[in-house]
Chain A
């Protein structure tokens, strides 16, 4: 059960504290802070720790540290999920990332939201669109209008037949709905260009501005791709099980419709990658080469490809030659970054270079890796296609669109 939430800034000062049951003193927070900052553990302290026989679950986001103080008898996932929701709801209501400044500026609103999101010690309403129903009214009102009008606020949640994720009486003009299918590929590539392992982690983001209670059905060409999938609550799981069709009444606004993981790739990895790296012990030098080539017939070109190589500390600025694009060396982080604004079709692009190690010290045992980033619009690596998107229950002109984006997740070349 969640007792309290604290939000701290980067210096460990409390920006906001909310108590749902009793009051938790700040001593436990300063003790946590000592633990958190000890021996550079800020990244390595587990998200769930016990302090003073209580549990503290923490999460970092946008330079703020969120802490939940809890009793230990329930699901740890619930707390982390709740923190995710708090951050999401804050972002939606503040119309900006929740940072120290934006939280302080929106303090009364933040308290209002937290009051509705959890009552007693369990989360209640965490859907943005439902919260807008309860808090939206007070947000917009200026005090004078409230004083003058004798009209009562009616809560749509009071009307029977609403859905937990969608209130009634929503009105939009124009009516539109857009889907972004974003596939990220995680892959490890060998020096020869062979792919050692790969998987696609994807999600479908949706932005819905539809009136009333519309019902959508979405049909895919190859639904078997969606094997490891997690769905938004709005999706009717029975229809999916029986007919492999997505059937749903969408929440209002932006939300994640579903996410899926897939090991199979319909297309080749759009970017062929290979390279070499060798250390010369005698000369205390390292020589390297990276080769990239676009190899997907569906893709005409890719913009903004970048290759990042973290090099050994203390090495000299590398001498590099590129066939396309430009390479920069950061002498603070010892990272070499090669950026290609436009990747040509049917042509290899190369980076060649060498670095010199300082005269003393060991020759590194390990070769570095190259981390590659790219993003391609209009391509879908898993082969998923939407063959039909139907909207019923809404007799109005509707703009709808589906967009595909393929991009690199954790994409690494091992020399």
Chain B
């Protein structure tokens, strides 16, 4: 928004107010307005002038302001150096610290010379407080000009400062070195440093302790005796009041197991109770990452938590994310002793109407997973599943159907007899795609064993032409063919119907292909077809879609990081900043100053009120009316039914005045269909699409409702890399469009 009136009145207030308490109020209002998102950058020169106050409260606020707008006022920044330098000489350590911290936050290349000089002085300051700040300021200096820090006396000085008496200075030096030397693998962890830090471990704050523990976790002790010493010293800290410390100690312990393999079980036993206590004693937010870690440990040592199953039973008041992870843990820790208890609990969640549908399906899936792990208790599982199926509650029946298919695949002999008689009734009540596919698969594989088998399939074939799901169509084709070879007289007719429908009246290329393939196969050699279609299946015991064991090993190495929460190794989600993205971020910043939600009028009123009787020049009331509307323009919203003829599209594509290329990366790979679906959902119209080798190519377009701008796009997608080429008449809008597509596709 244009905030010229606000600026004007603030400037006037600053000039008029001579009394310090009044100035303080004015500056307070400036800070408030700034955090509302008003762009007060033009006040920079006035604020720098105001910084020469002796009032620390004002000074702190003014420095806050200067740091915020330094970027936009590079040429004026030099004005402030005088004030910064003077303040670095102040008698008051708070002022020296403040000045040093603010100056180093400016990230300005012009000022590095001053900065470096003051930081070096700060490292020698007589006040601990100032030295703490100076140490961290070296990192900020390093970010602007690495050459002023790396391999210089500053680096050497920092190493020596680890030995300082003040615990903050010591820890800050560790942090600073770790970051400055990140490219060389962080601070060099010697036995001397580790011993020094561990000796004074109790002096550090929790945060300091977490940082030290991070170093210890990467340290390789030189003897078994040293391992044990570390273990004993840190053992007490499993009782820390800070969860971050407890998890960091756990990580150190887990790493030490490699050196002390015979203590493996004892070590895990030590960390078990503190982790459980954390779950029950802390809020939901804290419990979530802790449970994720317990889950990870449980994948390694299922028996460790086996006696604690009841701790992971879910409560109605738990948010869904806690319920899910608790169920995951129950699946991992199940064994012969607690099996009944866990299955009983899961089954009661399924029918508990106070839990949501998602959780009840999730529990059914968990029950199926447990069945595959503990085959000897299979009877009990199938009993529960059959009970669920009789409930007449659609989502429960459908979820059970899907699991039944897996159970049959694993234990055909034991389960078929019980499940087959239910199929007819089930075929009438299930509706979701996945449940139907499961049912049709069972029918194709085993349907011949019941009299009505072919007729249930026939019912599905009757509605084949209306079926919108490609998956169901494909499954049905295969199942009908299988049935044909097992019960030819009853199935011959429906095979004919379905092959005709698939090849003649379908839109989906895969359905047509498979129909034709079957048709040709049968026409070529009917006996061979039979032997291919009804070939023996190999028995299997583990579903490959279960998580690979190697994943958990990698995650154990990344214990106490976000990898555990996301269940992905760091490599897979770390943030690589691309050139485009940086530009994108800068755009973010620009818009941030404009995205505030207030009117200028209100703000002026408020300032006036707060500055308590100070006069504000009231003028041009009418000017301020249309401020609020301007911020909405940034949003793109596409017209749902907008349509271009291919020739129009081609014409516009060839003749557009502006062209924009934009590359971005997706979180995961998607197939062509999913892309088209996502685009359509967001009202983009797909003109054409195709697959060239492994690259997906899509042409699409869209029209923004409020601006009537049309954007045309070509997307080239290889794996997770997307190259976007956008064409249109307005470059600003193309940018917005491109960002919008990127957001839509990455979500």
Query: Does B274 sit within 8 A of A, measured CB to CB?
Result: yes
- B510 CB → nearest A CB, Å: 32
Closest to A7 in B: B35
**Given A165-B205, A227-B273, A259-B241, 13 new contacts (CB under 8 A):** A22-B107, A24-B588, A25-B585, A53-B575, A77-B560, A81-B244, A119-B136, A142-B21, A143-B21, A153-B92, A164-B204, A233-B242, A365-B353
Bound CA–CA A77/B275 (angstroms): 12
Interface residues of B in 53-96 (CB under 8 A from A): 54-58, 60-61, 64, 91-94
Query: Does B140 sit within 8 A of A, measured CB to CB?
Result: yes
- B415 CB → nearest A CB, Å: 25
- A205 CB → nearest B CB, Å: 12
Whether B57 pairs with A108 at a CB distance below 8 angstroms is yes
Query: Does B549 sit within 8 A of A, measured CB to CB?
Result: no
Closest to A257 in B: B241
Whether B289 pairs with A48 at a CB distance below 8 angstroms is yes
Inside 8 A of B208's CB, which chain A residues have their CB?
Answer: 164
Closest to A118 in B: B207
Whether A72 pairs with B241 at a CB distance below 8 angstroms is no
Interface, chain A (partner B; CB < 8 A): 11, 13-17, 22-28, 30-31, 43-48, 50, 52-55, 57-59, 71-78, 80-81, 83-84, 104, 107-108, 111-112, 115, 119-120, 122-127, 134, 137-138, 141-144, 146-147, 152-155, 157-158, 160, 163-165, 186, 197, 199, 201, 227-233, 236-238, 240-241, 256, 258-261, 364-366, 410
Q: Which of A81, A146, A153, A163 has the most CB of B within 10 A?
A: A81
Query: Does B457 sit within 8 A of A, measured CB to CB?
Result: no
Show 28 residue pairs from A and B whose CB-CB distance is below 8 angstroms, ordered by the A residue.
A26-B588, A47-B289, A50-B566, A50-B573, A53-B573, A53-B667, A58-B285, A72-B562, A73-B574, A77-B247, A112-B60, A119-B136, A120-B175, A122-B211, A138-B94, A146-B54, A146-B55, A155-B129, A157-B129, A186-B280, A228-B273, A228-B274, A230-B274, A231-B240, A231-B241, A240-B236, A259-B281, A410-B317
Whether A77 pairs with B243 at a CB distance below 8 angstroms is yes
Whether A155 pairs with B136 at a CB distance below 8 angstroms is no
Whether A25 pairs with B591 at a CB distance below 8 angstroms is yes
Known: A75-B248, A201-B280, A238-B236. A45 touches B321 (CB 8 A): yes
Known: A44-B321, A137-B94. A76 touches B562 (CB 8 A): yes
Whether A72 pairs with B129 at a CB distance below 8 angstroms is no
Bound CA–CA A348/B127 (angstroms): 68
Bound CA–CA A25/B204 (angstroms): 34
Whether B133 pairs with A119 at a CB distance below 8 angstroms is yes
Inside 8 A of B58's CB, which chain A residues have their CB?
Answer: 143
Inside 8 A of B564's CB, which chain A residues have their CB?
Answer: 76
Inside 8 A of B585's CB, which chain A residues have their CB?
Answer: 25
Whether A124 pairs with B172 at a CB distance below 8 angstroms is yes
Interface residues of B in 217-274 (CB under 8 A from A): 236-237, 239-244, 246-248, 273-274
By secondary structure, the A interface counts as mixed
Bound CA–CA A47/B284 (angstroms): 8
- A262 CB → nearest B CB, Å: 10
Whether A233 pairs with B93 at a CB distance below 8 angstroms is no
Residue from the list A17, A25, A112, A144 in contact with B21, Cβ < 8 A: A144
Inside 8 A of B28's CB, which chain A residues have their CB?
Answer: 107-108
- A21 CB → nearest B CB, Å: 8
Bound CA–CA A115/B172 (angstroms): 15
Residue from the list A59, A77, A155, A237 in contact with B93, Cβ < 8 A: A155
Bound CA–CA A350/B315 (angstroms): 27
Closest to A184 in B: B281
Closest to B354 in A: A366
Bound CA–CA A124/B587 (angstroms): 32
- B163 CB → nearest A CB, Å: 14
Interface residues of B in 556-579 (CB under 8 A from A): 560-566, 570, 573-575
Bound CA–CA A308/B258 (angstroms): 52
Known: A25-B589, A27-B588, A230-B274. A147 touches B54 (CB 8 A): yes
- A20 CB → nearest B CB, Å: 9
Query: Does B202 sit within 8 A of A, measured CB to CB?
Result: yes
Bound CA–CA A147/B566 (angstroms): 54
Bound CA–CA A24/B586 (angstroms): 9
Interface residues of B in 718-747 (CB under 8 A from A): 743, 746
Whether B242 pairs with A164 at a CB distance below 8 angstroms is no
Closest to B351 in A: A365
Query: Does B597 sit within 8 A of A, measured CB to CB?
Result: yes
Closest to A164 in B: B205
Q: Which of A157, A260, A410 has the most CB of B within 10 A?
A: A157
Interface extent on B, as a size class? 35 or more
Whether A256 pairs with B56 at a CB distance below 8 angstroms is no
Query: Does B303 sit within 8 A of A, measured CB to CB?
Result: no
Inside 8 A of B246's CB, which chain A residues have their CB?
Answer: 77, 230
Known: A46-B321, A137-B94. A23 touches B589 (CB 8 A): yes
Closest to A51 in B: B747
Known: A238-B236, A241-B236. A115 touches B101 (CB 8 A): yes
Query: Does B468 sit within 8 A of A, measured CB to CB?
Result: no
Inside 8 A of B32's CB, which chain A residues have their CB?
Answer: 104, 107
Bound CA–CA A261/B272 (angstroms): 14
Inside 8 A of A199's CB, which chain B residues have their CB?
Answer: 280
Bound CA–CA A125/B563 (angstroms): 27
Whether A258 pairs with B289 at a CB distance below 8 angstroms is no
Known: A43-B319, A147-B55. A230 touches B277 (CB 8 A): yes
Known: A72-B574, A108-B28, A143-B21. A233 touches B55 (CB 8 A): no
Known: A46-B321, A54-B575, A199-B280. A231 touches B239 (CB 8 A): yes
Inside 8 A of B302's CB, which chain A residues have their CB?
Answer: none
Residue from the list B92, B203, B562 in contact with A48, Cβ < 8 A: B562
Residue from the list B168, B202, B285, B575 in contact with A47, Cβ < 8 A: B285
Bound CA–CA A107/B281 (angstroms): 32
Bound CA–CA A126/B589 (angstroms): 29
Inside 8 A of A71's CB, which chain B residues have their CB?
Answer: 575
Bound CA–CA A23/B241 (angstroms): 32
Known: A111-B64, A141-B56, A410-B315. A72 touches B205 (CB 8 A): no
Query: Does B286 sit within 8 A of A, measured CB to CB?
Result: yes
Bound CA–CA A154/B104 (angstroms): 24
Closest to A16 in B: B35
Residue from the list A57, A122, A237, A366 in contact with B237, Cβ < 8 A: A237
Inside 8 A of A230's CB, which chain B residues have their CB?
Answer: 239-241, 246, 274, 277-278, 281
Query: Does B469 sit within 8 A of A, measured CB to CB?
Result: no
- B231 CB → nearest A CB, Å: 14
Inside 8 A of B247's CB, which chain A residues have their CB?
Answer: 75, 77
Inside 8 A of A54's CB, which chain B residues have their CB?
Answer: 575
Bound CA–CA A256/B94 (angstroms): 29
- B546 CB → nearest A CB, Å: 22
